[in-house]
Structure 1
């Protein structure tokens, strides 16, 4: 995946995380496991973006 695709995936995951958090607060859906999974997915995407940026900087240096 390109950095742009990863960035759009990151936005999508953040929106999903916000939706889950709102539902948990409103007690309409108490899916704590899904919230944990989404947070970890966000961290994974951020890690890949960071790795790709560092690799690009190394190539340019």
Structure 2
């Protein structure tokens, strides 16, 4: 599975980003649980999920910063 490009994340709406952040955090929790119970079959999913979460959080924070800057500029 190829890693998602951040350009694809930038096309999402704010609601979609929030939903995907929640889903990715749940996925990371499930992966940690599987690792703890020694049922983890695909350890590479940790890296993919962390990168995806970083992309989502980066775009969300950029949007919040630009919104705050726009409000303070007026």
TM bucket, shorter chain: 0.7 to 0.9
Structure 1 stretches of 4+ with a deviation exceeding 6 A read: none
Give the match's secondary structure for 1:27: coil
Task: Give unmatched runs, 5+ long, in structure 1.
Answer: none
Higher relative contact order (CA 8 A, sep 6+): 2
Deviation at 1:27, TM superposition (A): 1.0
Task: Give unmatched runs, 5+ long, in structure 2.
Answer: 1-11
RMSD: 1.2
CA distance in 2, matches of 1:4, 1:55: 17
Number of residue-to-residue matches in the alignment: 61
Normalised by the length of structure 2, the TM-score is 0.73
**Structure whose residues are more often helix by fraction:** 1
Matched, 1:3 2:14: yes
Aligned position for 2:31:
20
Normalised by the length of structure 1, the TM-score is 0.86
Aligned position for 2:9:
none
Aligned position for 1:35:
46
Aligned position for 1:53:
64
